[in-house]
Amino acid sequence: MIIKTIFSGFGGQGVMMMGTSLAQSAMNKGYQVTYLPAYGAEMRGGTANCTVAVSDEDIASPVASEPNYLVVMNLPALFTFQNRVTPGGSILINSSIVDANPTREDIQSFRIPCSDMAQELGNNRVANIVMMGAFVRKSGIVSSEIYLKSLETIMGSRKKALADINRKAFAAGYDYV
């Protein structure tokens, strides 16, 4: 089994955190993992994407030429990466920002209003965690318990105050799909 995912959006949307948290969760479950970030020189507003490959065997290449999943946090990401998704794959779209739909009919797409849901929770910075709730539910790569524990480890002791809002954001996305 090998599952490849591309997370993509603007810098500042937590795209790299999405990839890191999936990679950490999968490692905690005992899988082999690769994580390959790519981003522009800008810290916020530039393009950002990362590829995560998860397997129960050694991984030959971290490049996801045909990912099973694409997570889209902005419109340019949809147009840039949708044609790479393997037939039968899935695209998860932040529908709060992306009003377009994929042009392909051989994939599944799921529209999650992540940014709106994060705003309703009182913290627009957790849109990525809302999306990860939806992604974890749809992909089934790791359980919600493993993911949340890994997220708390990544955030560390200085971010303990965010643990509660992250749990709420994750649950909102998980329950949405």
- Residue 60's pLDDT band, with cuts at 50, 70 and 90, is confident
Q: Indicate whether 148 pLDDT > 80.
A: yes
Cα 165 to Cα 2, 36, 37, 103, 118: the distances in Å are 31, 27, 26, 35, 9
pTM: 0.94
Question: Structural domains in the chain?
Answer: 2-176 (3.40.920.10)
Q: Indicate whether 165 pLDDT > 80.
A: yes
- State mean pLDDT over 1-5: 94
